[in-house]
Amino acid sequence: MSIHAPLILDIQAHSLSAVDRRRLANPLVGGMILFGRNWQSRAQLSDVCADIKSIRPDLLIAVDHEGGRVQRFRTDGFTHLPSMRAIGELWGQDDKGQPGSGVLKACEAATSAGFILASELRACGVDFSFTPVLDLDHGESGVIGDRAFARDPRVVSLLARSLMQGLLQAGMGNCGKHFPGHGAVKADSHVALPVDKRSLKAILADDAQPYRWLTSVLTAVMPAHVIYSKVDSRPAGFSPRWLQDILRGQLGFQGVVCTDDLSMAAARQMDGRTLSYTEAVITALQAGCDLALLCNRSAVNAGAELDEVLDQLAEAQVKGHWLPNEVSEERRLNLLPRSPARPWDELVRSSDYMQALDRLP
C-alpha cells in the first residue's frame, strides 16, 4: 500500500497524553502544530518535542511563528521578533547621503529575523514554521495587516527571499502564504469566507507575483481561505484550478501545498454548505494539497472529532475515495531539517546570532 501521512494535528496541553501518543502514532498523521497553549518554558518545549520524536522521528513539528503579533513563544529567552511591516518600513529609510541604504537595512533585517526565528525554534526541537507571509498590504485586511511586508510585490518578494535565506541558514524550510493573496479582502477568514472579485489577470499581475518570482526557493505554500469568484467558485484550498492548473502548472511550483486550518467553519464552506472535517480534508487532498491542517479540536469531546476523522479517512482510503500519494509524502519528508540544530546555550553565545540581533529594527 502506498504511504501518505497527510494530517497535521494539534495537542491540548504542555505534554502528551496517552490519547495524543496513540493519535500521533497513526500512519495517517504526518505531524503536529504547536500553539501558545502548548508553551510553558524552553525546557518544557524541548521535552515535548523530544517526546513527539520518540513516537515517530518522521513527524513534522510545526508552528505559526512569524514575528509581530503572530509569535507563539515570547518568554524564557525567545527574541521578540518585529512584524514584517516593521521590516518593510526600513526599505525607504535611507541614511543621509547613502541612497539605497534603507533597502540594504531591510534585507539584512529580514535575513536576521529568519535566522533568529529558525535557530531558536530548532534549538528547542521545532522543525518548521509557517512563514513568511507573501500577502500584499492593500490596507484592506485586518487579519493580515502588519503581517505583510509592504504593498509592492517586488518589495515583498525581495524581503521574503531575504527572510527565507535566514531560515535556510538555520536549516529550516519556508511556507509562503496565503496563495494567491489574502491582502485585498476585508473579511477575516477565521470567521467568514472572503470573496475577491478581481480577474485572474489582475491577481496574477499583482498579489500572485511573489509566488511566480519565488517558485524556485519556496519549500511550501499555504492557499488562502478565499473565493476568487471570477476564477473558481471554490476557495483556493479546495480548487484544482488554483492549485494544479495555476500554482503547479502555470507558476511551476514543486513543493508542499498545505491547507490553512480546516477546523474553522468558514474554511469548510463550499458550494453553499459547510463540509464535515473529513469531507474538507479529502476535498483539499483531491484538489492538490499534500497536507491538511486540522487544529483546535483535540480538547473537543476529548478529541473524539479527530479520532472520527482518522477513522473516516482510513475507511475512505480502503474504499478508494481517497488515494495516498507517494509524491506528497516525499514532499512532506523534505520539510524535515537535514542538519543538526545548535544547542541553545551555544547559539546565544555565537557571533552570528548576536550580529543578527543587532540588525533587527
Which position among 232, 260, 261, 290 bears the catalytic label?
260
Which long-range contacts link 351-355 to residues 24+ away (Cβ below 8 Å)? 352/115, 353/115, 353/116, 353/119, 355/112
- SS3 state of residue 41: coil
Angstrom distances, CA of residue 341 to CA of 44, 128, 171, 205, 217: 17, 12, 8, 39, 21
Q: Judging by DSSP bridges, how do beta strands 269-270 and 273-274 pair with one another?
A: antiparallel
**Strands of 176-179's sheet, edge to edge?**
176-179, 220-223, 256-257
Residue 104, classified by CB atoms within 10 Å of its CB into exposed (0-12), middle (13-18) or buried (19+), is middle
C-alpha–C-alpha distance, residues 192 and 85, integer Å: 25
Q: In what order do the strands lie in the sheet with 7-9?
A: 128-129, 60-63, 29-34, 7-9, 292-293
Torsion of CA 84, 88, 94, 95, to 10 degrees: 0
Residue of 336, 292, 339 lying closest to 8 (CA atoms): 292
Distance CA 138, CA 105 (A): 23
Cite the beta strand spans of 250-332 per DSSP E: 256-257, 269-270, 273-274, 292-293
CB atoms within 10 A of CB 252: 11
Task: Tell me which of 190, 245, 307, 352 is the catalytic residue.
Answer: 190
CB–CB of 161/217 below 8 Å?
yes
Task: Give yes or no: 190 in active site.
Answer: yes
Distance CA 339, CA 171 (A): 6
The residues assigned a catalytic role are: 190, 260
